[in-house]
Amino acid sequence: MKQPIVTLTTDFGTRDNYAAVMKAVMLNINRDVTVIDITHEIGRHDIMEASLVLANSYHYFPNWTIHVVVVDPTVGSGRRMLLASINSHLFVAPDNGVLSGVYQDPEDINVHQIEAEHYFLRPLSSTFHGRDILAPVAGWLTKGVEVESFGDKIDDYVDLKLPVPEVNEDEGMVEGQIIHIDSFGNLVTNITRARFDEMLEASENHQFELAVGDHVIKELKHFYAECDKQSPALLFGSTSQLEVSVNEASAKEVLGFDKGQKLTLRFL
């Protein structure tokens, strides 16, 4: 594998040396590796957030990039470590659901348990398997070790159900929720542009009303600078998901909404 790429998605924060030590372990195995930090600021132990961020990121990378995820609240316990080949990318992560976003609609999927201890760092700690298991497995993958060499194929991996919108096509209604808040404070929902366009097309007057908290929004904007100041606006963000946004401000702060906030979309 020439000039291999590895990504890191963790909840380490940026202050400690944990990410650097994982890079060191990989460089010790293969000096040619390029490591890209997706983020180290996943909310502490927030498996669902890691899952969403990874699902929205991995496909921009070249095929056969190796994506390492370390959001691992039960490190040291019996939870397994996984090596998955999905949609022509490789994933190395604990079996706690952090890959759930990637498990959705896979074109091809192959999940292996990591069992081949001779690839692990010694002594194996019980508190930092990112360094002792995941980093060396990623390193050896870049050296051409086959996926099958690390352990048996399994089917019973943990697949968390990501919140999906409730759709009532007859009544032209969708009940979704806020599933992600970016650091600009934009509120990202689980309603996709494809769903929205399809139901708007099918509706009688090709109009809609979105209700969230005390607010009703009837218009779709195209970009942030078009949005109103101090009151919520709707647009499709960079992941083609419906977003609630406030111009030049944090929608989260102005509106006071958090993840899990429900919203109801009615097509008229």
Q: Does 225 bind a second copy (CB under 8 A)?
A: yes
List strands edge to edge, sheet with 5-10. Answer: 34-39, 5-10, 66-70, 89-94, 81-86, 109-113
Give the three-state DSSP class for 197. helix
Distances (CA, A) of 2 to 26, 35, 141, 144: 15, 14, 12, 10
Which region among 14-22, 81-89, 140-148, 155-163 touches a second copy (by CB under 8 A)? 14-22
Q: Does 253 bind a second copy (CB under 8 A)?
A: no
Nearest CA-CA partner of 89 in 75, 78, 99: 99
Place of tokens 């352990």: 151
Q: Which long-range contacts (CB under 8 A, 24 or more apart) does 141-144 make?
A: 141/4, 141/66, 141/83, 141/90, 141/92, 142/1, 142/4, 142/6, 142/26, 142/29, 142/30, 142/32, 142/33, 142/66, 143/1, 143/29, 143/30, 144/1
> Which is nearer to a second copy, 199 or 227 (by Cβ)?
227
Q: What residue type is assigned to position 66 of the chain? A: I
Closest contact distance (angstroms) between CB of 227 and a second copy is: 10
Per-residue interface string for the shown chain with a second copy, residues 121-140, x marking contact by CB under 8 A: --x-xxxx--x---------
The count of residues in the chain is: 268
Are 88 and 64 contacting, i.e. CB atoms less than 8 angstroms apart? yes
Q: Does 88 bind a second copy (CB under 8 A)?
A: no
Closest contact distance (angstroms) between CB of 205 and a second copy is: 25
Closest contact distance (angstroms) between CB of 179 and a second copy is: 14
Q: Does 36 bind a second copy (CB under 8 A)?
A: yes
Closest contact distance (angstroms) between CB of 38 and a second copy is: 4
Spatial separation of the C-alpha atoms in residues 192 and 213, rounded to whole Å: 20
Which region among 4-12, 84-92, 165-173, 252-260 touches a second copy (by CB under 8 A)? 4-12
Closest contact distance (angstroms) between CB of 245 and a second copy is: 9
Which region among 102-110, 145-153, 203-211, 218-226 touches a second copy (by CB under 8 A)? 218-226
Q: Does 46 bind a second copy (CB under 8 A)?
A: no
Which region among 98-106, 149-157, 204-212, 217-225 touches a second copy (by CB under 8 A)? 217-225
> Which is nearer to a second copy, 11 or 112 (by Cβ)?
11
**Candidate residues 88, 168, 230, 240; the one interacting with a second copy per rule CB under 8 A:** 240
Spatial separation of the C-alpha atoms in residues 99 and 199, rounded to whole Å: 30
Give the three-state DSSP class for 12. coil
The footprint of a second copy on residues 149-178 (CB under 8 A) is: none
Q: How many residues bind a second copy (CB under 8 A)?
A: 61
Q: Point out which residues bind a second copy (CB under 8 A).
A: 2-3, 5, 7, 12-18, 20-21, 23-25, 27-28, 31-32, 34, 36-41, 44-45, 53, 56-57, 60-62, 65, 73-77, 123, 125-128, 131, 182-184, 222-226, 235-238, 240, 248
